[in-house]
Amino acid sequence: MRPPPLEGLRLPACVAALGAAAWLATAPATYAQQPDDAATPRDAALDAHVDAGVRCVPIEADDEEEETTAPAPARDGGADAERPSARLFEAPATRAARGMVVVPGGVFRYGGAWASVGAFAIDRREVTAAAYARCVTAGECPAAPDPYAQMASRATAPAVNVSWEMARRYCTWAGARLPTEAEWELAARGISGRRYPWGERAPDCALARHAGCGDAPLRVGALPAGQSEFGLFDMAGNAAEWVADVFGPRAPRDDERVAMNPTGPATGAQRVVRGGSFLSTASALGGDARRGVDAREMRADVGFRCARGL
């Protein structure tokens, strides 16, 4: 299912207040919004975001919102509290940067609790080895040993063997950030909480690169049948993915309150990895599967994708 068309929808209040032209002017010139088919001298940096043409376009917004909780809205008359229900928010009129997908945000089941996240943009594909190499060349990312350097398709396969900090530095260089775990889960499972990104059907090698399908990652986006509701590739299998959050237990079941923009514990040695990889069994590809990995570790099956708030 493709994301809804964005033309003609109301601008978010923050953008409307600034005006579209002023809003774009706030972005650094190096990362100014360009049409999909535009080509300018500054594209050399932007086109690097992933080999498939992805580039990040920052919008001045507070992406690091403090985690809070809010009571469910009251029914008409304010007498009783209404229980939360899953729903998507109105899609913002903002266009995503080329290679990114706009997720309008919404209220959804997140573990045993409810969560609400605002609109954000997220890479449609995992960051490639070629894109990461350009960050290294620019002097902004540290080099990492590449266990798959001899692969013929290595340039378009996901960047792996990077630590959490290396992934964070890449996204910062590209004008973005790592997605929060809640953002990642909504992008992967949709508002209905699909078991897998593509739906309820059990994984096979046409849907996800996992154990038994090959001994190395594929080029990013090679399995279109496995796309998520919002059109994202490889949210299960291929490379597992770092997200921003420190690893910790999920919130206990709560049917009454909604966690606003949850971001996990404040401190901890491990960061959350989501999505499973080409080494994962089918049972580890579920949309709610998660694990903690030492943030300093570089694993041959762990990569990442970037996001930004809208």
CATH at residue 70: 3.90.1580.10
Evaluate whether residue 28 is within a structural domain.
no
Render pLDDT for 136-192 as a digit per residue (tens, 0 to 9): 999 999 998 888 888 878 899 999 999 999 999 999 999 999 999 999 999 999 998
Phi and psi for 209 in degrees, rounded to 5?
Answer: -85, 105
Distances (CA, A) of 181 to 156, 172, 246, 306: 25, 17, 9, 12
Question: What are the C-alpha distances in Å from 194 to residues 16, 100, 191, 207, 281?
Answer: 34, 21, 8, 14, 18
2 occurs within a structural domain: no
Percent of the chain with pLDDT over 70: 74
Q: Are 125 and 235 in contact (CB under 8 A)?
A: no
Q: How crowded is the C-beta side of 71, counted as CA atoms within 13 Å? A: 7
Whether 4 maps to a domain, the answer reads no
User: Is it the case that residue 51 has pLDDT exceeding 60?
Assistant: no
Q: Residue 152: what residue type? A: A
Residue 132 has pLDDT above 90, yes or no: yes
Helix (H, G, I), strand (E, B) or coil at 117: strand
Q: Read off the tokens for 12.
A: 């978010």
pTM: 0.73
Q: In this structure, is residue 243 part of a structural domain?
A: yes
User: Is residue 24 a part of any domain in this protein?
Assistant: no
- Asked if the structure places residue 30 within a domain, the reply is no
Residue 18 in domain: no
Sign of CA dihedral 87, 287, 177, 159: negative
Q: How many domains does the chain have?
A: 1
What is the residue range of 84's domain? 36-309
Residue 17 maps to a domain: no
